[in-house]
Amino acid sequence: MDQKLNELKTILAEVADLQHAAAVLSWDQQTYMPRAGAEARGYQLATLGRIAHQKFTDRKVGQLLDDLRDAFPPDSDEYALIRVTQREYEKRIRVPPEFVAEQAQVTAAAHEAWVAARSQSDFSLFEPHLARILDLVQRYIGFFPPSDHPYDILLDDYEPGMKTAEVQAIFSELSKRQVRLVQAISQAKQVDDSFLHFKYSIPKQRAFGEKVLMAIGFDPNRNRQDQSPHPFCTSFSINDVRITTRYQGNFLNTALFGSMHEMGHALYEGGFHPSFERTPLASGASLAIHESQSRLWENLVGRSMAFWEFFYPKLQKKFPAQLGEVSLGKFYKAINKVQPSPIRVEADEVTYNLHIMLRLEIEIAMVEGAVALRNLPELWNEKMKEYLGVVPPNDAQGVLQDIHWSFSGLGYFSTYALGNLIAAQLWEKIHSEITDLSAQIRRGKFDALRGWLYANIHVYGRKYEPKELVRRVTGSSIDPAPYLRYLETKYRDIYEL
């Protein structure tokens, strides 16, 4: 069996190398590639994608999986590798290599169209590309047996085992309490955050952000940060994990909290057990688990009073004209201000999930064919008004603000909200085991927190199913209650409700 396992690992390692090579090209496209290179890049990605797909779906892989299926103890790493690979194999053999290549070409072109459309705030420039992507999505769904809802097939790619109906039920429970909290806050004395919108030097923002990232775990030997139109994290190995951010010269929050968010992803990607390298286990358990890590660092750490008791004097020193006369308490309230906004990535914690619910509804309508693509900007604005009471002033701040549809990421969005819930569950568990965590954060110490996340989440990679991992760590299934407790406790204090 060892020989067959090694043979399987050799094939999987070559597939991983091809996928990581494609990831390098995608990272380059979003950071440094000249715009005119998009067509050639599409061909390159298509070729790599097709070869990786063909190699992974070869009959030899299926035979090796059959031979190895019952060869290892159920809790072993080897058993997990066979289980995860079998799941992916059974899904991918349904998808023709020609489809994989076509999707790579279409999405490479769509990304450039999205960038142009967003810069000009003109959805019509992106619409034909989105139409091609939606056609690919419908064809992809058709490769699989019918599910309770066609959207289940897309959701399963990001959140294994999760059903559309489950997500809708969780969101239904969340929305009632969150809407009530938003209403209560709207009637309270409002927070002044005007000083966050002064002019902030981008080089100084970058310098301060780098200090924060270094403190929470950025390793220059294993990590890199660049700029892109939409922040993201990508990994080429556990020793080469990269993040990007974007800066605004007149708003302090964007780059700082965006960088902490992506660093949460990077810590996860760099924390998989070394023996998982170049195998399917060197990946997050799911997108919701991944988002739990990024949202934990962005919000539960980054927007906490304890964090700013350490970092705020340093930020004041960097920006004395803007913040020199602003107290810590006033700054803390400002970065946690609740104000419905059209922009998801800049949304406060209380309204953030409403952005996700809006997107889920629209994506389901797209998959069902219940909305014409030309009407998406109008539908988007209607939903924004319904959920958040605001209407985006243009397409760039509305239907074009997110990158996900340009890479055919339908099914992705709900994982952001699920990640919020899991992060709060983990936070309660962490505090029960690291009883002086807040005091450590006040001293700018994050070793114990990183160590806990590594030992309980990161090191396992994809060994456990996401629902199993949450239960192993917290003792319960995904539960909205800790998140709602966290929100209501924090914001009742800030707004004196």
Residue type, 16: A
Per-residue burial over 272-285, b = 16 or more CB atoms within 10 Å of its CB, e = otherwise: bbeebebbbbbbbb
Say how far apart CA 291 and CA 404 lie, in whole Å: 15
CB within 8 A of 246, min separation 6: which ones? 227, 228, 229, 230, 231, 254, 255, 258
Q: Nearest CA to 272 among 11, 78, 24, 455?
A: 455
Backbone dihedral angles phi then psi of residue 112, each to the nearest 5 degrees: -65, -35
In the block, tokens 């909205």 appear at 480
Which structure tokens are listed for 24? 């390098």
**Residue 158: what pLDDT?**
94
Residue-level pLDDT at 179: 86
What does the pLDDT read at residue 239?
A: 98
CA nearest 349: which of 251, 183, 490?
Answer: 490
- Biggest alpha carbon–alpha carbon distance for the chain: 69
In this predicted structure, what is the pLDDT of residue 346? 83
Q: Is the dihedral of CA 376, 377, 379, 384 positive or negative?
A: positive
| Residue 276, both tokens | 């998982």
Q: How far apart are CA 316 and CA 420, in angstroms?
A: 30
List the domains of the chain with CATH numbers.
Answer: 2-146 (no CATH), 164-494 (1.10.1370.30)
pLDDT at 279: 98
Task: List the structure tokens of 494.
Answer: 């800030």
C-alpha 427/C-alpha 342 separation (Å) is: 28
Element (H, E) at 237: strand 233-237
Place of tokens 């993040």: 243
Per-residue pLDDT tens, the chain, 497 aa: give them.
789 999 999 999 999 999 999 999 999 999 999 989 999 999 999 999 999 999 999 999 999 999 999 899 999 999 999 999 999 999 999 999 999 999 999 999 999 999 999 999 999 999 999 999 999 999 999 999 999 999 999 999 999 989 999 999 999 888 888 888 998 999 999 999 999 999 999 999 999 999 999 999 999 999 999 999 889 999 999 999 999 999 999 999 999 999 999 999 999 999 999 999 999 999 999 999 999 999 999 999 999 999 999 999 999 999 999 999 999 999 999 999 999 999 998 899 999 999 999 999 999 999 999 999 999 999 999 999 988 889 999 999 999 999 999 999 999 999 999 999 999 999 999 999 999 999 999 999 999 999 999 999 999 999 999 999 999 999 999 999 999 999 999 999 999 99
Rounded to whole angstroms, how far apart are CA atoms 15 and 236?
12
- Among 402, 376, 404, 396, which Cα is nearest to 117's? 396
Give the pLDDT of residue 176. 85
CA angle centred on 480, ends 191 and 410, rounded to 5°? 90
Cα 397 to Cα 399: distance, rounded to the nearest angstrom: 7
Q: What is the pLDDT of residue 230?
A: 83
Active site residues: 262
Give 234's strand partners.
242
Residues 6+ apart with CB under 8 A from 220: none
**Comparing C-alpha atoms, which of 54, 83, 233, 103 is closest to residue 160?**
83
Q: How far apart are CA 279 and CA 56, in angstroms?
A: 12
Going by C-alpha positions, the residue among 333, 300, 316, 328 that lies closest to residue 446 is 300
